[in-house]
A and B are shown apart, each in its own frame.
Chain A
Amino acid sequence: MTLPRFDVLVPETVEQACSLLAEHGGGARVLAGGTDLLVDLKRPIVQERLIEAGGGDPGRFTTLGDGEPGAIDPWGSGDPPPDVLISLHKLAGLKRIEVLDDGRLRVGALATAREIQRVPEIRDRWTALAEGADSLGSPLVRARGTIGGNICNARPAADITVPAICLGAQLELQSPDGSRTLPGEQFILAPGVTVIEPAEILTAVTFPALSARTGSAYYKLGQRKALEISVVGVAVYVELAGDDTVQAACVTLGAVGPTPLAARSAAEVLAGGKPTGELLARAARAAAADATPIDDHRGTAEYRRLMVEMLTRRTLELAVERAGGRS
């Protein structure tokens, strides 16, 4: 793996960052912790730069030098490497994590997984978010990787993104034209693809205030206990009413579809019901039916679907307990 050459620009304000982005157009990428971006930019040593050779001999292939037209590179990302990276590391304001007066949680886009892990209010109330941060990478990666990077990188298995969407994240985006706020679940379109505009930056993620009787949980399934890309991730959120019935619920699934996936029929099963073991099991089956997993070298679709059921039931039990109810 080799890194291409690029320049790094270091703006001092969000406005500067946005205008630099606008100035460089498609040739620029935003750099936060770099734990996704720099890995993506590395070029594999063995690339298949083959074309079918001309001269009417279809069985022949030629490797191509860089820059020659017609090269296909199925192992590479397909995108041309950027000329500049725009580093956000001087934008201290984007690191802030605070519980607002109205009870909402606001997490700056540059807050790292480790910083999220260490906020007691998050662990107490937005528990699934803390558990997502706990499960990310290793101590080294958690010290660098940010919530903004995790969301903007738009991977279906992203361990902060899945619980964030489940907890109703609203994304604050800023561009030279102003700012806008978007629900988290509308942000990601496909693996690696978001609705973000070329000159737009994610500045913060806010979460709705929570009543006392809410609970949430995140479970990541992999082959080992750290440094793992989820085979399945399940985030759940449950709010109980005074009579112990489910007032609101959300189940969000990771790694079983092209984007983090809302298991809507599971939420429907739960709504208004008493959170008995039987109800949670039914919701879990509904979640498994909502999932759209594929086979890949990390696991088969069949196993993933089964695991969605197991883990949805378990996380629901935990969340109900945390909400002060009993399943």
Chain B
Amino acid sequence: MSNDYRILNTRAPRVDAVDKATGRAQYTDDLSRPNMLYGAILHSPLAHARILDIDTSRAERLPGVVAVVTWRDAGTEPYGVSPARYDETIFCHDRVRYVGDEIAAVAATDPDTAHEAVRRIKVDFEPLPLVLDGRHAMDDGQPQLHEQYENNICAQVHWRFGDVEQGRREASVIRTDTISSKMQDAAFMEPQAVLAEVDAQRNLTMFSSTQAPHYVQRTLAMALNHPLHKVRVVKPAMGGGFGPKASCSTAELATCLLALKTGRPVKFTFDREQVFLHSRARHQFLHTMTTGVRDDGTLAFLEHECILDGGAYASFGIATVYYAGSLLGGPYRLKNMNYDGYRVVTNKPACGAQRGHGAVIARALFEIQLDRIAEELEMDPIELRLKNVMDAGETTCNELFVSSFGMREALEAVRDSAAWKKKRALAGQTRAEGKGIGAACGFFVSGAAYPIYRSKTYHCTVVTKVDEVGGGVVVQSGAADIGQGSDTMLAMITAEELGVSLDDVRVQAGDSSLSVDLGSYSSRTTLMTGAAARDAARDVKRRILSAVAGRIDVPPETLDLKDGCVISLADPIDFSALRDEYLKEHVGFSDLPDSPKLSFREASRIAFLEIGAVVGTGEYRPPKLGGSFKGAAVGTSPAFGCSAQVAEVSVDLETGEVTVDRITGAHDCGFAINRTQVEGQMHGSMMMGMGEALMEQVIYDEHGRILNRNLAEYKIPTSLDMPQLDALIVESNEPHGPYGAKEVGEGAIMPVIPSILNAIHDATGVRINELPVTPERIVRALRRKSVCAK
């Protein structure tokens, strides 16, 4: 793609690359303070029990223990993610609801003492019957987890769009299929870590590995009853989040409580085991879908029911149950859609948001259905999809407007790049045993259009300030770079606008005291914070150019910033007076400007001399979006990403082992601010989706305890499992995104699971409707098939 950008759309190295590669980057657990204490938490060993008594006296007597806190210190006011479902307290008070539920916390002078103290806390429990199976949580007679959730239903959705009965009458092929998945762990590299400190004015500062400093700031202030303006949340360098770090955790609340109580800095870092216990990762989904198409392959209707097992608390789960339905509105023209979703609570760790929030398993089943329908119609599965994809300017049946949409282009790109026609044509004819190829598409929001609390808040602001000595630029933002590279995105946009080099831009971000920014979730940061950064940089530019123009008496519109210099768009300009002024200020300096052009360094210094602080601001708030039906807000977005993928697999028909040989993916990100980072998100999505398709599952025993709560037994793909990955970038120029950009962070995972499952079917002739598709499940299905054939 050719364009005039110097920096955007390139493969500029990440601004944090060297620090991370050399170990210089400071993650939360690297931080330390004089006089710092270490925290530890007592987790419930039982999945469901009444608490009769908590005795902390033996812990308090242990030398080195400075504070022990329980609900008596923290109170019992509920908090949570969605105001409509505040159902957690900082510490359990009368009941524990999962193995891992937090009962007390300790601050001590060293970690060993803190752990030892936790072990000395005595709790009397009266065990209660468990609800472990999400399928049956709603049944009559099941134990109830929360008074406010009748029949253990935490949230439910009933949507009717169009006329499904009419669709049914038009359909010539109708089929019903099911799929069930397992709870996931996001398996980010950096476990949650927190350092909290309080100053003499009771300003509470918390450093935390969080995706959403602003939301966490609000939750801390609310739950700890501390003034909002005296709570500051700072996100140091971070090793991934994928969703579970988007809400405030007990680790954060307890550490702050301990810092407030002791007046000393307190640090607390999750063990990997605690990452599993705390979870807030992907729900378990149990989907049933009935889809009908007309004989020409046009989609006629979708009837969809889903039960989401959400664990013990609501967390992000209300959004999850909505997303599970709403995001099937695209990328195909589908006029009639019914959805009934139930999110239930069970005695397992709470589930929340994870990459592709709510929509991944629904997408998997729907794309499998499309393949099965194509088979019945004897149509090529990609042809069937092409027949139904939406184009830019269309609105889905649930009122999602797609302003840019490279779906068709993406699907054609993977089809051609993977030589689909040739390989698929071989299907059924002569080809190596156990080889298969499959395709799927995906659809995802590019930033939630509404904040999680009811407000007309700006979703982000950016302040860009030029160094008053001239030359450098500082971008200040609350956006959270969790590893996806948003700091680099901010630097690139600013450098592009101001015509300076990337090295002259310093990004200060991830700090709630710098700006309101809703955080890194729902694939929003490039579109939203990117737009704010662009506007802030343009604001700065206007100020510099008008100050310079005033000095040399030309209209500001005739000036521009380019390649580190002020250029004239009209007649050449003599800058010598400004140059002299700058040189006089810098007697004795050696790296002084000497080209005939006025450098950015001089121009920005002159601007400061003329007008004082040179500060530009930008902000972003989505336009009002969405329909008027209940829950219409979830799924709305200023833009939608879409993606297509072809997976090629080899299946060992005797052992069931699957080797993914190659994945070809295409994603419409609108415009790639940084091409390498777009590909990085696609590669990461492929890896994560492949793990979910083939190996990942949190396994519970009959007491609700996680059997595989470590990364040896919770399997994610290793580098040896990864296939060749071909990431193709599609750019559809999104009108609502900065420079045409929209999301890639989550949308890219959408087609991964179904394309692999469709390929496995192509290879083996069997369908497996339970994830993950382990070798054992494949062998069982193959044996069932051969028994039936006999």
Cβ-defined partner of A221 (8 Å) among B116, B272, B657, B718: B657
Q: Determine which of A1, A49, A314 lies in contact with B273 in the assembled complex, contact meaning CB atoms within 8 Å.
A: A1
Q: A1-B272, A303-B776 are in contact. Are A59 and B127 (CB under 8 A)?
A: yes
A223 touches B273 (CB 8 A): no
**A62 and B695: CB pair below 8 A?**
no
Q: Are B713 and A229 in contact (CB under 8 A)?
A: yes
Q: How many residues of A contact B (CB 8 A)?
A: 39
A63 and B705 alpha carbons, distance in the complex (Å)? 16
A46 contacts the other chain (Cβ, under 8 Å)?
Answer: yes
B699 close to chain A: CB less than 8 A: yes
Nearest A residue (CB) for B52: A60
Q: Please give, as numbers and ranges, the residues of chain B lying within 8 Å of A61 by CB-CB distance.
A: 46, 49, 124-127
Cβ-defined partner of A224 (8 Å) among B121, B125, B717: B717
Closest approach, in angstroms, between the C-beta of B694 and any C-beta of chain A?
A: 7
In the complex, the answer to whether B694 meets A311 with C-beta atoms within 8 Å is no
Within 8 A of B (CB), among A43-61: 44-50, 53, 59-61
Contact of A5 among B52, B112, B718 (CB under 8 A): B112
- Does B463 interact with chain A (Cβ within 8 Å)? no
* B718 and A225 form a contact (CB under 8 A): yes
Contact B655 A224 (CB under 8 A): no
Which residues of the other chain, B, contact A50 by a CB distance below 8 angstroms? 45-46, 125
Let me know if B273 and A62 touch, CB within 8 A: no
B780 and A44 within 8 A (CB): no
- CB of B392 closer than 8 Å to a CB of A: no
Q: Is A227 within 8 A of B277, CB to CB? A: no
Residue of B nearest to A227 (CB): B718
The complex places the Cα of A306 from the Cα of B112 at a distance, in Å, of 47
Chain B residues, CB < 8 A from A47: 45, 119
Contact across chains for A306 and B127 when beta carbons are under 8 A apart? no
B271 touches A1 (CB 8 A): yes
Please indicate the chain A residues that have their CB under 8 angstroms from the CB of B116 in the complex: 66
Distance A195 CA – B774 CA, assembled complex (angstroms): 37
Instruction: Report yes or no: A65 in contact with B121, Cβ–Cβ below 8 A.
Output: yes
* A45 engages B43 (CB within 8 Å): yes
Q: Does A179 contact B (CB under 8 A)?
A: no
What is the chain B residue whose CB lies nearest that of A296?
Answer: B707
Cβ contacts under 8 Å, A53 to chain B: 124
A221→B120 CA distance, assembly (Å): 43
Q: Which residues of A contact B712 (CB under 8 A)?
A: 227, 229
In chain A, residues 1-60, which have Cβ atoms closer than 8 Å to a Cβ of chain B?
1-2, 5, 44-50, 53, 59-60
Residues of B within 8 A of A66 (CB): 116, 119-120
* Chain B neighbourhood of A63, CB < 8 A: 45, 121-123, 125
A50 CA to B124 CA, complexed, in Å? 9
Residue of B nearest to A228 (CB): B715
Bound: A311/B277 CA distance, A: 37
* Cα-based distance from A30 to B659 in the complex (angstroms): 39
Cβ of B274 < 8 Å from any Cβ of A?
A: yes
Instruction: Check A65–B277 contact: CB distance below 8 A.
Output: no
Q: How many residues of B contact A (CB 8 A)?
A: 50
Shortest Cβ distance from B228 into chain A, in angstroms? 32
Interface check A310, CB cutoff 8 A: yes
Q: Is the CB of B272 within 8 A of A65?
A: no
A65 and B119 in contact, given A221-B775, A223-B774, A225-B718 (Cβ under 8 angstroms):
yes
B720 an interface residue at 8 Å Cβ cutoff?
A: yes
Q: Is B123 a contact of A2 with CB atoms below 8 Å?
A: no
Least CB distance, B574 to chain A, in whole angstroms: 64
Chain A residue with the shortest CB-CB distance to B652 = A310
B19 touches A (CB below 8 Å) = no
B115 to chain A: closest residue by CB: A2
Q: Which residue of A lies closest to B49 (CB)?
A: A61
Q: Is A208 an interface residue (CB 8 A)?
A: no
- B501 CB, min distance to chain A CBs, angstroms: 39
Closest residue on chain B to residue A138 by CB atoms: B718
Q: Once the chains bind, are B720 and A46 in contact (CB under 8 Å)?
A: no
Measured between beta carbons, the chain A residues less than 8 angstroms from B111 are: 2
Proximity string of chain A (293-327) to chain B, C-beta cutoff 8 Å, 1 when within and 0 when not: 00001011001001100110010000000000000
Please measure, in the bound complex, the distance between the C-alpha atom of A297 and the C-alpha atom of B700, giving whole angstroms: 9
In the bound complex, how far is the Cα of B720 from the Cα of A50, in angstroms? 42
> For the complex, is B310 an interface residue (Cβ under 8 Å from A)?
no
Query: How far apart are the CA atoms of A299 and B705 in the complex, in Å?
Result: 18
Contact B273 A44, beta carbon cutoff 8 Å? yes
Chain A residue nearest to B695 in the complex (CB) = A223
Does B776 lie within 8 Å of A46, measured CB to CB? no
- What's the Cα separation between A231 and B46 when bound, in Å? 30
Within residues 261 to 305 of chain A, which ones have a CB less than 8 A from any CB in chain B? 297, 299-300, 303
Establish whether residues A223 and B775, one from each chain, have CB atoms under 8 Å apart when the complex forms: yes
Q: B residues 363-401 with Cβ under 8 Å of A?
A: none
B779 within 8 A of A: yes
Please, which residue of chain A has its CB at the minimum distance from the CB of B657? A221
- Taking CB atoms and an 8 Å cut-off, the chain B residues in 15-65 that contact chain A are 43-46, 49, 52, 58
Task: Enumerate chain A residues within 8 angstroms of B115, measured Cβ to Cβ.
Answer: 2
Question: Does B721 reach chain A (CB closer than 8 Å)?
Answer: yes
**Do residues A2 and B43 form an inter-chain contact, with CB atoms below 8 A?**
no
Complex interface residues of chain B between 47 and 105 (CB less than 8 A to chain A): 49, 52, 58, 99-100
- 21 A-B interface contacts by CB (under 8 A): A1-B271, A45-B274, A45-B277, A46-B273, A53-B124, A59-B126, A60-B126, A62-B124, A65-B58, A65-B120, A223-B774, A224-B715, A225-B720, A226-B719, A226-B720, A226-B721, A229-B713, A297-B707, A297-B708, A297-B713, A310-B655
- Which 10 pairs of residues, A with B, have the shortest CB-CB distance? A225-B720, A65-B120, A48-B45, A226-B718, A303-B776, A310-B654, A66-B119, A61-B125, A63-B123, A226-B720
Give 8 new A-B contacts, CB below 8 A, not counting A53-B124, A66-B119.
Answer: A1-B271, A46-B44, A48-B46, A59-B126, A62-B123, A65-B121, A224-B717, A224-B720
Q: Which residues of A contact B (CB under 8 A)?
A: 1-2, 5, 44-50, 53, 59-66, 75, 138, 221, 223-229, 231, 297, 299-300, 303, 306-307, 310-311, 314
